[in-house]
């Protein structure tokens, strides 16, 4: 199996631990603060380590990608999580591969294949079996936030693939730029909307530390490195591993039960993830054959395999 694919798959698996860490280690009712503390400290530390800033057009490109992949995504993710049952939020997130397929057609001029669409529908179905309950309460604002967050991440993934990275810039500084941009967007909003908690315990600090280092700095470095080397939709389908991990972790560590229908859902969602890695031989439109821009991606833009 492709080693880059395996290392990129570590990211959604790590993201799948976020729910347990948030519920068990973090203070209550601070979603925006959690989002800001995930992004900004990690970004600043990586900037200090890499000592490389954007140049030219990459100032605004890094700001756009940081807003989509980090700022808006984190904010909408936590907002939806507080207004919706976790299962509903997870199903909304599972629509990400389908959105990525559609955006790849629009922005990368790569026509979707039946395999890609089928794998996306299979993923949504499987995640629904795992996390959705019959008594789930729906909230219009929460659903809207979940869809905005998913669309933001899908758009950021496809634009990251379209723009690539500047010559000589590795995945680590590229990650630092986006985390810093997203964190700078989140921090003032969090301070105005929520403020700081009265006190932070060692448990709180451990939770924030894990999210900032393993859950954000390491995870996003692997994620952006994978986007550069793999087809955009192939990476997007790996995100289905996140709700699968959350369900398994809840069963193993939080004494949550897995019903037979949930086990079936795990198998179906995993099948959608694997199906999303199969080559579909899509046809590439004329725009994709155009002369490359001055910014050269770190890896050739291979056709989207789905």
Most confident of 97-101, 129-133, 256-260: 97-101
Please write the tens of the pLDDT for every residue from 161-191: 999 999 999 999 999 999 999 999 999 999 9
Predicted confidence at residue 294, as pLDDT, reads 42
Please write the tens of the pLDDT for every residue from 39-93: 999 999 999 999 999 999 999 999 999 999 999 998 887 777 666 655 566 666 7
Predicted confidence at residue 88, as pLDDT, reads 60
What average pLDDT does range 152-167 have in this prediction?
93
Looking at the predicted structure, is the pLDDT value of residue 96 above 90? no
Q: Which residue has the higher pLDDT, 105 or 189?
A: 189
Please write the tens of the pLDDT for every residue from 185-233: 999 999 999 888 888 899 999 999 999 999 999 999 999 999 998 888 8
In sequence order, the β-bridge partners of residue 284 are 110
For residue 110, what is the DSSP state? B
State the Cα torsion 126-127-128-131 to the nearest 10°. 130
Nearest Cα residue to 42 out of 180, 185, 184, 225: 180
Asked if 32 contacts 260 with a C-beta cutoff of 8 angstroms, the reply is no
Q: Predicted confidence band at 292 (pLDDT cuts at 50, 70, 90)?
A: very low
Query: Hey, what long-range contacts does 45-53 have (CB within 8 A, 24 or more apart)?
Result: 45/217, 46/172, 46/173, 46/175, 46/176, 46/179, 46/180, 46/217, 46/221, 47/173, 47/176, 47/177, 47/180, 49/172, 49/176, 50/170, 50/172, 50/173, 50/176, 52/169, 52/173, 52/176, 53/177
CA–CA separation, 70 and 39 (whole Å): 7
Predicted confidence at residue 132, as pLDDT, reads 63
Q: Predicted confidence band at 282 (pLDDT cuts at 50, 70, 90)?
A: very low
CA–CA separation, 237 and 233 (whole Å): 6
What average pLDDT does range 252-281 have in this prediction?
74
Write down the mean pLDDT value for the chain.
81
Q: Predicted confidence band at 137 (pLDDT cuts at 50, 70, 90)?
A: low
Q: Predicted confidence band at 10 (pLDDT cuts at 50, 70, 90)?
A: very high
Widest CA span of the chain, in angstroms? 57
Reported pTM: 0.80
Predicted confidence at residue 286, as pLDDT, reads 36
Predicted confidence at residue 89, as pLDDT, reads 61
Predicted confidence at residue 138, as pLDDT, reads 64
């Amino acid at each position: 199996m492709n080693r880059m694919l395996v290392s990129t798959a570590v990211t959604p698996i790590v993201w799948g631990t976020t729910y347990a860490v948030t519920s068990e280690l973090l203070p209550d009712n601070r979603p925006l603060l959690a989002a800001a503390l995930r992004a900004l400290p990690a970004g600043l530390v990586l900037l200090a380590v890499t000592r490389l800033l954007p140049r030219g057009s990459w100032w605004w490109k890094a700001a756009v990608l940081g807003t989509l992949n980090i700022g808006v995504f984190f904010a909408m993710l936590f907002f939806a999580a507080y207004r919706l049952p976790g299962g509903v939020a997870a199903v909304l997130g599972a629509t990400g591969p389908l959105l990525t397929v559609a955006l790849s057609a629009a922005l990368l001029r790569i026509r979707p294949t039946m395999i890609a669409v089928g794998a996306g529908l299979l993923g949504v179905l499987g995640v629904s079996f795992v996390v959705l309950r019959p008594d789930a309460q729906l909230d219009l604002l929460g659903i809207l936030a979940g869809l905005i967050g998913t669309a933001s991440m899908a758009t950021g993934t496809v634009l990251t693939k379209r723009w690539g990275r500047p010559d000589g810039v590795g995945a680590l500084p590229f990650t630092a730029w986006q985390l810093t941009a997203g964190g700078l967007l989140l921090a003032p909003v969090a301070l105005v909307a929520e403020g700081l908690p009265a006190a932070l315990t060692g448990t709180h600090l451990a939770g924030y530390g894990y999210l900032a280092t393993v859950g954000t700095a390491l995870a996003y470095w692997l994620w952006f490195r994978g986007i550069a080397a793999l087809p955009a939709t192939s990476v997007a389908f790996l995100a289905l591993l996140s709700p699968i991990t959350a369900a398994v972790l809840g069963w193993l560590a939080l004494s949550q039960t897995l019903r037979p229908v949930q086990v079936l859902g795990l198998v179906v969602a995993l099948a959608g993830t694997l199906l999303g890695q199969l080559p579909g031989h899509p046809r590439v439109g004329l725009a994709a054959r155009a002369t490359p821009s001055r910014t050269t991606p770190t890896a050739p833009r291979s056709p989207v395999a789905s």
